[in-house]
Amino acid sequence: MAIGGDLERPLAGALVLGIGNLLWADEGFGVRAVESFHAAYELPEVVELLDGGTQGMNLLEPVVSHAAVLVFDAIDFGLPPGTLRVLRDREVPAWAGTKMSLHQQSFQELLAVADLQGRFPPKLTLIGVQPERLSDFGGSLSESVRERLPVAVELAAEELASWGYPPRTRRAPAPPLNAEALALPAYEAGRPAESEACRIGDARLLNRRRDLESR
């Protein structure tokens, strides 16, 4: 029996969602993928494009309110770095002893709640990449992951077309999806040198540890 949820409300069209944390290197794949998709394609009015960042369960309503959901994410498959995987519908586990998603509140947990509510997306596709580098605070995508962006974008375009929402190739530059400072070129250009900024964790914690060890 479904628990909660407005089962009578009609569903919107499709949602293209990128999730991840730009501050931790390959964890930002989902966001960079949705940015790349936005730069390459125009979408029908019934398709929503969303940078979900690290919003966790706040993404529940956007996900369950659409008839078809396509997600970009960095996923731990235990495969060689840069490997892309496409999972569809119930291939994307809502219940699992081991998390695939790298986020504290994983997309799997969101799907589990949607399932309990009887609102699991009728169509769901996850395009995931195996990360190479995560513990690089302020870092950008590794080369093995970055080079998979065009492939991930084309897979997404093909999936949307198969759902009846064919995207159109852009003929003019796309409007910004995020703040200019977060765009890939500006983000990479603005990164401090390693000698000036901590890259493997919280500097406050590391400085405290250094002080203790020096006593």
> Considering the domain boundaries, does residue 212 fall inside one?
no
Examine the pLDDT at 48 and tell me if it is beyond 90: yes
Residue 113: which residues within 8 A CB-CB, separation 6 or more? Answer: 57, 60
What was the pLDDT predicted at 107?
82
Examine the pLDDT at 15 and tell me if it is beyond 70: yes
> Considering the domain boundaries, does residue 211 fall inside one?
no
Instruction: Tell me which of 133 and 18 has the higher pLDDT.
Output: 18
Range of the structural domain that residue 66 is part of: 12-203
What was the pLDDT predicted at 105?
54
Long-range contacts, stretch 5-11, CB < 8 angstroms, 24+ apart = 5/64, 5/117, 5/118, 5/119, 7/118, 7/119, 9/65, 11/65, 11/66, 11/67, 11/122
> Considering the domain boundaries, does residue 47 fall inside one?
yes
Distance CA 89, CA 71 (A): 11
Question: What is the percent of the chain where pLDDT is above 70?
Answer: 79
Which letter does DSSP use for residue 24 in this model?
B
> Considering the domain boundaries, does residue 208 fall inside one?
no
- The CATH number covering residue 90 comes to 3.40.50.1450
> Considering the domain boundaries, does residue 214 fall inside one?
no
pLDDT band of residue 1 (cuts 50, 70, 90) is very low
Q: How many domains does the chain have?
A: 1
pLDDT band of residue 96 (cuts 50, 70, 90) is very low
What was the pLDDT predicted at 153?
98
> Considering the domain boundaries, does residue 67 fall inside one?
yes
What pLDDT, in 10s, does the model give residues 121-137? 999 999 999 999 887 87
> Considering the domain boundaries, does residue 2 fall inside one?
no
What was the pLDDT predicted at 169?
97
> Considering the domain boundaries, does residue 48 fall inside one?
yes
What pLDDT, in 10s, does the model give residues 68-91? 999 999 988 889 999 999 999 988
Report, as an integer, the average pLDDT of 152-179: 94
Report, as an integer, the average pLDDT of 28-42: 95
Rounded to two decimals, what is the model's pTM? 0.82
What was the pLDDT predicted at 180?
77
Residue 8: which residues within 8 A CB-CB, separation 6 or more? Answer: none
